[in-house]
Amino acid sequence: MGSITPCLWFDGQAEEAAALYTSVVRNSRIVSVSRVGPSESDPALTVSFELDGQAFVALNGGPQFSFTEAVSFQIACADQEEVDRHWDALTDGGEESRCGWLKDRYGLSWQIIPTVLQSLIGGPDADGAQRAVAAMLSMGKLDIAALESAYRGD
Protein backbone atom coordinates (compact mmCIF):
# COMPACT_ATOMS: atom_id res chain seq x y z
CA MET A 1 0.00 0.00 0.00
CA GLY A 2 1.31 3.46 -0.85
CA SER A 3 1.69 6.33 1.54
CA ILE A 4 -0.37 9.51 1.57
CA THR A 5 1.48 12.82 1.46
CA PRO A 6 -0.45 16.06 1.94
CA CYS A 7 0.46 18.70 -0.65
CA LEU A 8 0.03 22.28 0.53
CA TRP A 9 -0.47 24.98 -2.12
CA PHE A 10 1.26 28.31 -1.53
CA ASP A 11 1.62 31.52 -3.49
CA GLY A 12 5.40 31.87 -3.39
CA GLN A 13 5.92 31.07 0.32
CA ALA A 14 6.41 27.29 0.21
CA GLU A 15 10.04 27.34 1.34
CA GLU A 16 9.39 29.95 4.04
CA ALA A 17 6.36 28.01 5.33
CA ALA A 18 8.23 24.69 5.41
CA ALA A 19 11.06 26.36 7.33
CA LEU A 20 8.58 27.72 9.89
CA TYR A 21 6.73 24.44 10.32
CA THR A 22 9.91 22.39 10.70
CA SER A 23 11.22 24.87 13.28
CA VAL A 24 8.03 24.64 15.34
CA VAL A 25 7.19 20.92 15.26
CA ARG A 26 9.68 18.57 16.91
CA ASN A 27 11.22 15.71 14.96
CA SER A 28 10.86 17.64 11.72
CA ARG A 29 13.10 18.45 8.78
CA ILE A 30 13.23 19.76 5.24
CA VAL A 31 14.02 16.79 2.99
CA SER A 32 14.54 18.49 -0.36
CA VAL A 33 13.86 21.62 -2.37
CA SER A 34 13.16 21.59 -6.11
CA ARG A 35 13.81 24.98 -7.70
CA VAL A 36 12.42 26.52 -10.87
CA GLY A 37 15.99 27.07 -12.12
CA PRO A 38 19.47 25.69 -11.61
CA SER A 39 20.62 28.19 -8.98
CA GLU A 40 20.13 27.95 -5.21
CA SER A 41 18.82 31.52 -5.41
CA ASP A 42 16.02 30.50 -7.79
CA PRO A 43 12.57 30.25 -6.19
CA ALA A 44 11.39 26.90 -4.92
CA LEU A 45 8.83 25.00 -6.95
CA THR A 46 8.32 22.30 -4.33
CA VAL A 47 9.64 21.65 -0.85
CA SER A 48 9.50 18.16 0.63
CA PHE A 49 9.49 18.15 4.42
CA GLU A 50 8.52 16.06 7.42
CA LEU A 51 6.60 17.12 10.51
CA ASP A 52 7.10 14.65 13.34
CA GLY A 53 7.88 12.00 10.74
CA GLN A 54 4.82 12.74 8.52
CA ALA A 55 5.76 13.60 4.93
CA PHE A 56 4.43 16.81 3.34
CA VAL A 57 5.03 18.68 0.10
CA ALA A 58 4.73 22.46 -0.18
CA LEU A 59 4.06 23.67 -3.72
CA ASN A 60 4.42 27.22 -5.00
CA GLY A 61 1.38 26.98 -7.23
CA GLY A 62 0.37 30.64 -7.44
CA PRO A 63 -2.54 32.75 -6.26
CA GLN A 64 -5.37 30.61 -7.69
CA PHE A 65 -6.15 28.72 -4.46
CA SER A 66 -5.98 29.47 -0.76
CA PHE A 67 -6.48 27.51 2.44
CA THR A 68 -9.78 27.24 4.30
CA GLU A 69 -10.74 25.87 7.69
CA ALA A 70 -12.12 22.80 5.90
CA VAL A 71 -8.64 21.31 6.33
CA SER A 72 -6.58 21.71 9.48
CA PHE A 73 -3.70 19.96 11.18
CA GLN A 74 -3.80 18.93 14.83
CA ILE A 75 -0.76 19.08 17.04
CA ALA A 76 -1.08 16.99 20.21
CA CYS A 77 0.70 18.72 23.10
CA ALA A 78 1.83 17.00 26.30
CA ASP A 79 1.66 20.09 28.53
CA GLN A 80 0.86 23.80 28.67
CA GLU A 81 4.42 24.76 27.78
CA GLU A 82 4.11 22.84 24.53
CA VAL A 83 0.64 24.34 23.84
CA ASP A 84 2.05 27.83 24.43
CA ARG A 85 5.13 27.26 22.26
CA HIS A 86 3.17 26.00 19.26
CA TRP A 87 0.43 28.61 19.68
CA ASP A 88 2.85 31.51 19.92
CA ALA A 89 4.93 30.41 16.94
CA LEU A 90 2.00 29.69 14.65
CA THR A 91 -0.11 32.74 15.54
CA ASP A 92 2.86 35.09 14.90
CA GLY A 93 1.56 36.96 11.87
CA GLY A 94 -1.55 34.78 11.83
CA GLU A 95 -4.80 34.90 13.73
CA GLU A 96 -6.24 33.22 16.79
CA SER A 97 -9.58 31.48 16.66
CA ARG A 98 -11.61 29.47 19.19
CA CYS A 99 -11.28 26.09 20.86
CA GLY A 100 -7.55 25.70 20.18
CA TRP A 101 -7.81 26.63 16.49
CA LEU A 102 -5.66 29.20 14.73
CA LYS A 103 -4.59 30.28 11.26
CA ASP A 104 -0.90 30.79 10.62
CA ARG A 105 0.47 33.68 8.55
CA TYR A 106 -0.10 31.67 5.36
CA GLY A 107 -3.78 31.00 6.15
CA LEU A 108 -3.31 27.33 7.07
CA SER A 109 -5.48 26.19 10.00
CA TRP A 110 -4.05 24.34 12.98
CA GLN A 111 -5.53 22.84 16.12
CA ILE A 112 -3.23 23.02 19.13
CA ILE A 113 -4.70 20.37 21.40
CA PRO A 114 -3.43 19.15 24.79
CA THR A 115 -3.40 15.36 24.96
CA VAL A 116 -5.39 15.52 28.21
CA LEU A 117 -8.36 17.13 26.43
CA GLN A 118 -9.89 13.84 25.26
CA SER A 119 -9.95 12.44 28.80
CA LEU A 120 -11.68 15.62 30.00
CA ILE A 121 -14.35 16.01 27.34
CA GLY A 122 -14.86 12.25 27.08
CA GLY A 123 -14.22 11.40 30.73
CA PRO A 124 -16.38 9.17 32.91
CA ASP A 125 -17.97 12.14 34.71
CA ALA A 126 -20.61 13.33 32.21
CA ASP A 127 -21.23 16.57 34.12
CA GLY A 128 -17.49 17.22 34.32
CA ALA A 129 -17.18 16.56 30.59
CA GLN A 130 -19.93 19.08 29.87
CA ARG A 131 -18.19 21.67 32.04
CA ALA A 132 -14.89 21.01 30.26
CA VAL A 133 -16.57 21.40 26.85
CA ALA A 134 -18.19 24.67 27.97
CA ALA A 135 -14.82 25.94 29.18
CA MET A 136 -13.14 24.90 25.91
CA LEU A 137 -15.79 26.72 23.86
CA SER A 138 -14.97 29.95 25.69
CA MET A 139 -11.23 29.76 24.99
CA GLY A 140 -8.94 30.70 22.12
CA LYS A 141 -5.69 29.01 23.15
CA LEU A 142 -6.56 26.06 25.37
CA ASP A 143 -5.62 26.38 29.03
CA ILE A 144 -5.07 22.94 30.55
CA ALA A 145 -5.40 24.07 34.18
CA ALA A 146 -8.69 25.84 33.45
CA LEU A 147 -10.04 22.82 31.55
CA GLU A 148 -9.10 20.49 34.41
CA SER A 149 -10.64 22.87 36.94
CA ALA A 150 -13.86 23.04 34.94
CA TYR A 151 -13.98 19.24 34.74
CA ARG A 152 -13.61 18.97 38.53
CA GLY A 153 -16.20 21.68 39.08
CA ASP A 154 -13.82 24.00 40.95
Query: How does pLDDT run across 14-36, given as a tens digit for each residue?
Result: 999 999 999 999 999 999 999 99
In angstroms, the first-to-last Cα distance of the chain is 49
Quote the pLDDT of residue 123: 84
| The pLDDT value given to residue 1 | 56
pTM score of the predicted model: 0.93
The percentage of the chain sitting over the pLDDT mark of 70, rounded to a whole number, equals 99
The Cα-based distances of 115 to 18, 78, 145, 148 in angstroms read: 25, 6, 13, 12
Q: In the CATH hierarchy, which fold is given to the domain comprising 1-65?
A: 2,3-Dihydroxybiphenyl 1,2-Dioxygenase; domain 1 (3.10.180)
Q: Which CATH class is domain 67-154?
A: alpha beta
Query: What's the rounded Cα separation, in Å, for the pair 16 and 136?
Result: 32
Structural element, H or E, at residue 73: strand 72-77
pLDDT of 2 over the 80 cut: no
